[in-house]
Chain A
Amino acid sequence: MIAKNTLTLMSLWLYFILFGITYGQRNIIIKVGSEPFNLNSNYLINGVDSIRIDLFKFYIGNQRGDYQLVDASDVDTYQLPFDDKFLIIGMDSVTNTSGKLDGVFDPLLGMYWAWNTGYIQLKIKGNCYSQGFNSSFDYHIGGYQVPYLTYKVVKVQSNNAPLTIDLKHFFSVLPIYSTPKIMLPGPIAQEIFYNFTSSFK
């Protein structure tokens, strides 16, 4: 069985070398300041509070309509199957509503609003400890209707470098105490989305 897989891989490689077709890839590195980001780890924010993330998923795509659902619980998803210089965080209205519903768009993945059609672009859930108090938060961030769009094109610094995301500032400005829960598009969701996109370096 292993031999068969190896053979398939080798023949694929041969195919790529012979025909010069390579599917570009780009790795994502997620950090919090100088530390690597992991689920269920504590990070110091604003000097005094400590934040811990239980769930972290977001969509990233390119201008040709390819998308990847990056999920912090599965590091394999940190490897994007495309290497475009311009990447898209969020989705336009066509992608949101075209009813593809398979692959990375499968509603099974928990990123689909069935009753108000559209995809959740960023899902983040966790806790914040501040002066002995524990506050939980849960954000489902999305929206494609004017004015509360969640869509941004980001430019990657260089062609070969991995895409680095630094969540330190994003964590420090989450409205954990004023709005601990968001399940709908709207102005605060949009603000959280844009703070998230500014994490892309």
Chain B
Amino acid sequence: MMRWFIFLLIGIPLISLMFVPIDGLFYRPEKWPKPIYNFRDNPLTFEGYTLGRTLFYDPILSKDSTISCSSCHLQFTAFAHVDHPTSHGINSRAGKRNAPGLMNLAWYPNFHWDGGVLSLNGQAINPLTHPDEMGETLEGVLVKLNRNEAYKSEFKKVFGTERITTSHLLKALAQFTVSLVSANSKYDSVMRKESSFNEQEQRGYSLFLKHCNQCHTAPLFTNFEFKANGIGPNALINDSGRRVITGKASDAYLFRIPTLRNIEYSFPYMHDGRITKLKDVIHHYANSSNWVYPISKELKLKNNSLSPEDQKDLIKFLKTLTDKEFLFNPSFGYRLK
């Protein structure tokens, strides 16, 4: 009897400790779908996440050690690139597309504005090796890391091997990026019945459900599809979007429907960052006379009868998707060594 008592006394706190999430590490919010990321292939550990976080903020990954992942993915703007329509890389070279915010990546079936990348692990190769981004080679990065004693010992702690390989580097980065979960906005607390919308937010929410939710589907605020939203091709940047990947003419100028979470902070907007203000984005959708072909049918079918008042209400609702806890979580920030 006594033995059972001691077992319970020690066992229950020990077991419950296992379920306390470590601050910053991935978790699945209540009522969210099952994540797509293969955690069995890359089991999360606090050491792996911390290593990924260190790498994310380290310019050692770029050819001339000037650019890190965080150069274009800043935490305070939901890991998007504020004030830069398109990403920029080494030697001030400009890319073709707007660096997207990084959040809830475990639920993405594919990555990039064109959906060409099918695994989060493999994604990082693109910015690492693109001449307009970090301009490095995988060989080059691995030589630098394998020369660095601090990294060697950290990688050894996580993967148990002496030599750092491509998959170690990519998996460490993914352990950090997959942990960037944003699910604690005012919207989320309203859904959990912990708070409530004010009148204007409530009106905005009804408008959202009627006009936007079909593509920007809650709780991730995207259905991950590729659509043409009527802003038309960018005359200065030759980019046919999804067609680059599929080769299908019908996919020309389609781009991913982006998430609306933290949209208040992740300006500029659209795949080429051409719109700076959220109110101008809403104005675009609300005025079919502005639309340029191609236009996906979901948009064409809308009767876009949003009055200026409606547009203001909608913006009030969109601001409830701001997750300050995510934007200012010190666990996601630069790690002092």
List residues of A whose CB falls within 8 A of some B CB.
97-102, 106-108, 112, 114-117, 145, 184-186
Contacts and interface: CB of A to CB of B under 8 A. Distances in A.
Contacts of A108: 138-139, 142, 166
Contacts of A185: 247
Contact of A107 (B38, B116, B138, B245): B138
B125 A102 contact: no
A97 B110 CA distance: 10
B70 interface: no
Contact of A115 (B38, B116, B119): B116
Given A108-B166, A117-B122, 6 more contacts: A99-B121, A101-B121, A108-B139, A114-B126, A115-B126, A117-B119
Nearest to A97: B118
B290 interface: no
B319 interface: no
A170 B120 CA distance: 37
A112 B125 contact: yes
B166 A102 contact: yes
Given A106-B166, A108-B142, A117 B118 contact: yes
27 contacts: A97-B119, A98-B41, A99-B38, A99-B41, A99-B119, A99-B120, A99-B121, A99-B122, A100-B167, A101-B122, A101-B167, A102-B165, A102-B167, A106-B165, A108-B138, A108-B139, A108-B142, A112-B122, A112-B125, A114-B129, A115-B112, A116-B245, A117-B117, A117-B118, A117-B122, A184-B247, A186-B247
A107 B122 contact: yes
A77 to B, nearest CB: 19
B170 interface: yes
A112 B246 CA distance: 17
A97 B118 CA distance: 6
Interface in B1-47: 38, 41
B166 A107 contact: yes
Contacts of B122: 99, 101, 107, 112, 114, 117
Nearest to A148: B247
Interface of B: 38, 41, 110, 112, 116-122, 125-126, 129, 138-139, 142, 165-167, 170, 244-247
A162 to B, nearest CB: 31
Contacts of A101: 121-122, 166-167, 170
Nearest to B170: A101
A100 B42 CA distance: 10
B166 A99 contact: no
Nearest to A101: B167
A119 to B, nearest CB: 11
Contacts of B38: 99
A138 to B, nearest CB: 19
A100 B129 CA distance: 19
Contacts of A99: 38, 41, 118-122
A122 to B, nearest CB: 19
A107 B170 CA distance: 11
Contacts of B247: 184-186
Contacts of A102: 165-167
A184 B38 CA distance: 27
A101 B126 CA distance: 14
Interface centre among A99, A112, A117 (most CB of B within 10 A): A99
Contacts of B118: 97, 99, 117
Contacts of B165: 102, 106
A90 B264 CA distance: 46
A147 B165 CA distance: 34
Shortest beta-carbon contacts, A-B, top 6: A99-B119, A102-B167, A114-B125, A117-B118, A116-B116, A101-B167
Contacts of B166: 101-102, 106-108
A101 B38 CA distance: 14
A195 to B, nearest CB: 21
Contacts of B138: 107-108
B116 A117 contact: yes
Nearest to A118: B118
Contacts of B170: 101
Contacts of A117: 110, 116-119, 122
A182 B246 CA distance: 16
A102 B125 CA distance: 13
A106 B120 CA distance: 15
Contacts of A145: 246
